[in-house]
Amino acid sequence: MVREKKIRTRGKLQLSKYFQEFKEGASVAVIREPSVNFSFPRTLQGMTGVVESKRGGAYLVKINTQGKEKKFLIHPIHLKKIKQI
């Protein structure tokens, strides 16, 4: 789990990550951005899911946890695009 950032990036936000956009059906990994004050569930850290839609500035992401499909609203700064093979 990401507890802290490297010393040179501490307290900084990458604007390209903050404003990144995803298409519906894109695979994403959930990676917590520690410099944003946000009550983030620890169980979501490192999980992968599929973008279902966009709601305001956040994305609705479908994640399978323990055999059940759940939906979470997550800001794009906490998401990272992954390739499917």
Cβ contacts of 58-62, under 8 Å, gap ≥ 24 = 59/22, 59/28, 61/28, 61/30
| Predicted pLDDT of residue 16 | 84
Higher local confidence (pLDDT), 53 or 66: 53
State the pLDDT at residue 8. Answer: 83
pLDDT at 53 (0 to 100): 95
pLDDT for 12 equals: 77
Whether residue 1 lies inside any domain: the answer is no
User: Could you tell me the pLDDT band of residue 2, with boundaries at 50, 70 and 90?
Assistant: low
Residue 9 lies in a domain: no
CATH number for the domain including 34? 2.30.30.70
Q: pTM value?
A: 0.83
How many domains, in total, are found in the chain? 1
Rounded Cα distance, 24 and 53, in Å: 6
Residues 5-62: tens digit of each pLDDT: 788 887 778 888 889 999 999 999 998 888 877 677 878 888 999 999 999 999 999 9
Domain that holds residue 40: 23-81
- Does some domain include residue 15? no
